Amino acid sequence: MLPSGAVWTAALVFTPLLAALACFLAPRAANWIGLLAAGLTTLAAATMVPTLMTDGPLRIAVGGWGAPLGIDLYADGLSAVLLLMTAVVGLGVSAFAPAYFGAHPQQRPWFWPLWLILWAALNGLYLSADLFNLYVMLELLGLSAAALTALSGGGPALNAAMRYLLVSLLGSAAYLLGVALLYHAHATVDIALLGARIEPGMLANAALAVMFAGLMLKTALFPFHFWLPPAHAGAPAPVSALLSALVIKGSFYLLLRLWLDLFGDLSRLLPELIGVLGAIAVLWGALQALQQQRLKLMIAYSTVAQVGYLFLAFPLAGGLNGTTAWRAVVYLALAHGLAKAAMFLSAGALLRFAHHDRIADLDRAVHRLPLTLTAFVLAGVSIMGLPPSGGFVGKWLLLEAAFQQDRWGLAVVVLLGGVLAAAYVFKVVGYAFTPTAIAQEGGSVPLSMQWSALLLALGAILLGFAAPLLLPLLEVGAPFEPIVGMPS
């Protein structure tokens, strides 16, 4: 008899996967099947929380075969918070999608199966305990994301999807090369076993180099961000929300796991280099966002900047109170997920309303679409890092770590990035209050589209108050401490 924790954990992968098949076979019922699957998957993610808090991290040998031969699923606090964030964003996007695709009926039969496969891949990624299973999930994630990018079918979208697919395949090929090297040296792909066996040397350094290069490419860290803005801006609004809020976090999570469990002690130089790239990304992405004329491109460049923040933890992690820096960026990743999904969904609602997304022609959108603009501003508050939002908690922790280690440069980057974010968010708000010379006609926007964006944005704000609940959950299984001993 399986413990119930194991059943729920398996449901996190199998519910969206089976629902994807059902949506493919019965496209007419896709909306209902999709929403039902979204609800069940969210329930499964929520059920994990009490289990983890009372029993500690979960390790499940699928089919009764244990590591090193079988496939293990493993869930600790880090997996759990990301699974929860994925579920909340997934639920929001699923609630947005039926009304959105009501106006694009030819895209709907493809959206649901692809999105549910993407969800299964993300959950599988957060639960996998071995490097090869992670590779398969990474590829599944990349393929479904690239297919979703192409959904709207126009020339620019197909171009962006093609580029995204090539980049994504190259990234996972590099990762697989690293897996091959590690397997050769240590004869296992189980992360916990590898963590105990790995030792500094040329082979480990080579594996570190190719795996990090591949995953940084997939996470769009500057200067590997070139593929992101056209892909994220060209996709349909719900897909943009998924790509920016969730897909990027998948490869970032993998980077984080590899660093924490395998490579953390190998290099002193690499974390500094990654930190510099992150700092450039924060400033460069925000400056680019400020210059965009199109709302969706602006939000996409904002993602480039926010991805930069996630990498600022690497140079801080080795120093005094370094685990605070990890907590900070995980919190930033959660806050960014909710806020960026809300932003892209409100951009989708504005696009439906005005039939364009030129920032300068928003023409009093604030009066005519107040719910959507409120969602945009609340999400912006979290992106800027103002209290009491989730973004604020993340930035506060990051600044705390930077101050404790006298890293004033990094602290300045964190603050400056927030100021620039405020500039581009208020630019949009300013135009939304201003009437244009020629008054614009506006179409009607279904309430489900407006409310799903607003609720996600409220979630990003509430995340600021949820810190006392989420930070202890994050500590389950001590993901940020070095591995001691081998699993039984």
Closest to another protein by CB, 46 or 158: 158
Instruction: For residues 233 and 229, give the distance between their C-alpha atoms in angstroms, rounded to a whole number.
Output: 6
Instruction: Supply the minimum distance, in Å, between the C-beta of residue 20 and another protein.
Output: 15
Cα–Cα nearest to 381, from 448, 431, 433, 335 = 335
Which region, judged by CB under 8 A, interacts with another protein, from 12-20, 72-80, 128-136, 317-325?
128-136
Among 10, 21, 43, 170, binds another protein (CB under 8 A): 170
Per-residue binder mask for another protein (CB under 8 A), 130-159, x = binder: --x--xx--x---x--xx--x--xxxx-xx
Q: 422-481: which residues touch another protein (CB under 8 A)?
A: none
Instruction: Supply the minimum distance, in Å, between the C-beta of residue 230 and another protein.
Output: 5
Q: Is 163 in the site for another protein (CB under 8 A)?
A: yes
Q: Is 286 in the site for another protein (CB under 8 A)?
A: no
Closest to another protein by CB, 155 or 485: 155
Cα–Cα nearest to 181, from 250, 82, 263, 76 = 263
Distance of CA 226 to the CA centre of its chain: 18
Instruction: Supply the minimum distance, in Å, between the C-beta of residue 189 and another protein.
Output: 8
Residue 180 token pair: 């091959």
Instruction: For residues 249 and 287, give the distance between their C-alpha atoms in angstroms, rounded to a whole number.
Output: 22
Q: Is 284 in the site for another protein (CB under 8 A)?
A: no
Does residue 435 have a cis bond before it (omega within 30 degrees)? Answer: no
The b-or-e profile of 345-369 (16+ CB within 10 A means b, else e) is: bbbbbbbbbbeebebebbbbbbebb
Instruction: Supply the minimum distance, in Å, between the C-beta of residue 6 and another protein.
Output: 24
Residue 327 near residue 480 (C-beta atoms within 8 A): yes
Q: Is 24 in the site for another protein (CB under 8 A)?
A: no
Instruction: Give just the sign of the alpha carbon dihedral 282, 283, 286, 291.
Output: negative
Query: What 3-state class would DSSP assign to 205?
Result: helix
Give the torsion through C-alpha atoms of 353, 356, 359, 361, to 10 deg.
-80
Instruction: Supply the minimum distance, in Å, between the C-beta of residue 70 and another protein.
Output: 12
Q: 201-240: which residues touch another protein (CB under 8 A)?
A: 226-227, 230
Query: What 3-state class would DSSP assign to 75?
Result: strand
Query: What 3-state class would DSSP assign to 388?
Result: coil
Distance of CA 286 to the CA centre of its chain: 18
Q: Is 386 in the site for another protein (CB under 8 A)?
A: no
Instruction: For residues 28 and 336, give the distance between their C-alpha atoms in angstroms, rounded to a whole number.
Output: 33
Among 162, 213, 471, 478, binds another protein (CB under 8 A): 162
Number of residues that bind another protein (CB under 8 A): 34
Residue 375 near residue 341 (C-beta atoms within 8 A): no
Instruction: For residues 250 and 89, give the distance between their C-alpha atoms in angstroms, rounded to a whole number.
Output: 14
Instruction: Supply the minimum distance, in Å, between the C-beta of residue 118 and another protein.
Output: 14
Instruction: Supply the minimum distance, in Å, between the C-beta of residue 383 and another protein.
Output: 23
Q: Is 169 in the site for another protein (CB under 8 A)?
A: yes
Q: Is 63 in the site for another protein (CB under 8 A)?
A: no
Among 83, 95, 129, 165, binds another protein (CB under 8 A): 165
Please calculate the CA angle 126-473-35 and round it to the nearest 5 degrees: 55
Q: Is 183 in the site for another protein (CB under 8 A)?
A: yes
Instruction: Supply the minimum distance, in Å, between the C-beta of residue 326 and another protein.
Output: 30
Q: Which residues bind another protein (CB under 8 A)?
A: 132, 135-136, 139, 143, 146-147, 150, 153-156, 158-163, 165-166, 169-170, 173, 176-177, 179-181, 183-184, 187, 226-227, 230
